[in-house]
Amino acid sequence: MTTIDPQSFGAGPIRIFLGLGGVRVRPRMYIGDTQDGTGLHNMVLAVVNAALRERAGRRAERIAVTLSADGSCTVSDDGPGLSGEPDGRGGLREIEAVMTQFVEREIASNAEQAALCVVNALSHWLRIETRSLGKVYDLEFRHGVPLSPLGVRDAEGDHRGTDISFRPSADIFAERIFDVARLGDRFDALSRQTGAQISLIDARGTRDA
């Protein structure tokens, strides 16, 4: 497997597009161990790391991660958002392509850097809303499959950023309870490395996720 180089994404003459079917067949290859909690926590870290990658000369400076009582996780950031412009992947817009396809070299050796489409494929459901260039785009998926066409509306003000909510699939992960201490340690390390502010909110109460 090759390691992602975010700065060189899109460079090079050969781009092999891969669908999501293989991800659900061999999830460990993309997200890590699905039995001991490693892959589960890598799902969250993959979304956070995606927010920290530079896009359009910017990256997120503030990221909020919320764990909910239904077993889902929401990652909200103040980054530049995903574009609704055509991406070049089969006529898809950027947000659609990022969530449903990846090129061969995007398969990461470090599962914490997995592509967003991997998180999508391994989630029972996933919802994304992104604000970019005066527009709000939203999509909802079930097991990586879109439930409806891309939603588009005018944004209020000049707010940018992305909200991604997902619930890991019970068909994939034996362990589906997020460990706050485990995530908190990784977020502290990422904050030190990047300077970004990463907050973790446990909204589960006394109910197991």
CATH number reported for the structural domain that contains residue 80 in this entry: 3.30.565.10
How far from 134 is each of 5, 80, 204, CA to CA, in Å? 29, 11, 34
Number of domains in the chain: 1
Tokens 């990784």, residue located = 186
Domain extent, residue 115, equals 15-203
pTM of the model: 0.86
Taking only the tens place, the pLDDT of each residue in 31-82 is 999 999 999 999 999 999 999 987 656 889 999 999 999 999 999 999 999 9
Three-state SS for 131? strand
Asked if residue 61 belongs to a domain, the reply is yes
CB burial string 70-94: b at 16+ within 10 A, e below: ebbbbbbbbbbbbbbeebebeebbb
Asked if residue 7 belongs to a domain, the reply is no
Asked if residue 3 belongs to a domain, the reply is no
